[in-house]
Amino acid sequence: MSIKKNIELFIQDVQRICESCNRDSKDIIIVAVTKTVGIQEMKEAIECGLTDIGENRVQEMMEKIESFDESVNWHMIGHLQRNKVKYIIDRVSLIHSLDGVKLADEIQRQSLKQNKMTDVLIEVNIGNEDTKFGIKPDEVTSFARKITEYSNIRLRGLMTVAPFEAEPEKVRPLMKMMHQKYIELKLLNLENSLIDTLSMGMSNDYRIALEEGATMLRVGSLIFGERS
Ligand SMILES: *Cc1c(COP(=O)(O)O)cnc(C)c1O
């Protein structure tokens, strides 16, 4: 199937699910995840109207950025090493993977240097998995309080990579818990924050994520085909 067809079907499905749970599909941002995907395929996706691109490696993002104009929003969705923050800070729209104070220190330092405000999400390890990065669910509130003390970092919400389940329905309880965390974070009304983003849902589980309140979906293989 073509990328164009994949995107059309995906957007139709998003609209259908939004209708079924009384949500406005205009409130949903689709991030096309393009790790290992070529420039040509990426341009095809952008021609279909997608504006947001997600990469999980700094090196790959840097190599690709040059081939696109300023209209593309770049999302860092993978684990971010401190020593690489400086390479992406002036181009990245949203860092999804803030998972520690030391990384926040470096994002603050580089943002101040560039005289910019950097938008971030706190990555939450919602399944408490040893193999995954992210803040433990019960530490989100205290971590969020720390993050909002940085002058050049603006907290926008939460992100999670749910455990992979062949039967996606199984992640629903965790996604409900994420949404609960997100609502709690909103209600804290922390200064220096604008809590409007819950980034969860991938090719395998975006339907459940939408039903449970995700505002941002990160979808790769469904659009571009399986990665080799
Ligand atoms: C690869 C990746 C995705 C997209 O995964 P698909 O299953 O291809 O949709 C989303 N989020 C993160 C953090 C990823 O690394």
Q: What does the DSSP assignment read for 139-186?
A: GHHHHHHHHTT-TTEEEEEEE--PPP-SSGGGGHHHHHHHHHHHHHHH
Whether the pLDDT of residue 228 is over 90: the answer is no
Whether the pLDDT of residue 219 is over 90: the answer is yes
**Measured between alpha carbons, how far is 191 from 149 in angstroms, rounded to an integer?**
8
**Measured between alpha carbons, how far is 85 from 118 in angstroms, rounded to an integer?**
11
- The pLDDT, as a whole number, for residue 142 is 98
Ligand 1 atom nearest 203 alpha carbon: 9
Q: Could you tell me if the CB of 77 is within 6 A of ligand 1?
A: yes
Ligand 1 centroid–CA 31 distance in Å is: 10
- Amino acid, res. 157: G
Which of 125, 164, 216, 218 to mutate to test ligand 1, by most ligand atoms within 8 A of the CB atom? Answer: 218
* pTM greater than 0.85: yes
Ligand 1 centroid–CA 109 distance in Å is: 28
Which of 202, 205, 222, 228 to mutate to test ligand 1, by most ligand atoms within 8 A of the CB atom? Answer: 202
Ligand 1 centroid–CA 218 distance in Å is: 6
Ligand 1 centroid–CA 33 distance in Å is: 6
Q: List the beta strands (DSSP E) in the chain.
A: 29-33, 52-55, 73-76, 92-98, 118-123, 153-159, 193-199, 216-219
Q: What is the pLDDT of residues 118-129, one digit of tens each?
A: 999 999 999 999
**What radius of gyration do the chain's Cα atoms show?**
17
Q: What is the pLDDT of residues 141-175, one digit of tens each?
A: 999 999 999 999 999 999 999 999 999 999 999 99
Q: What is the pLDDT of residues 66-85, one digit of tens each?
A: 999 999 999 999 999 999 99
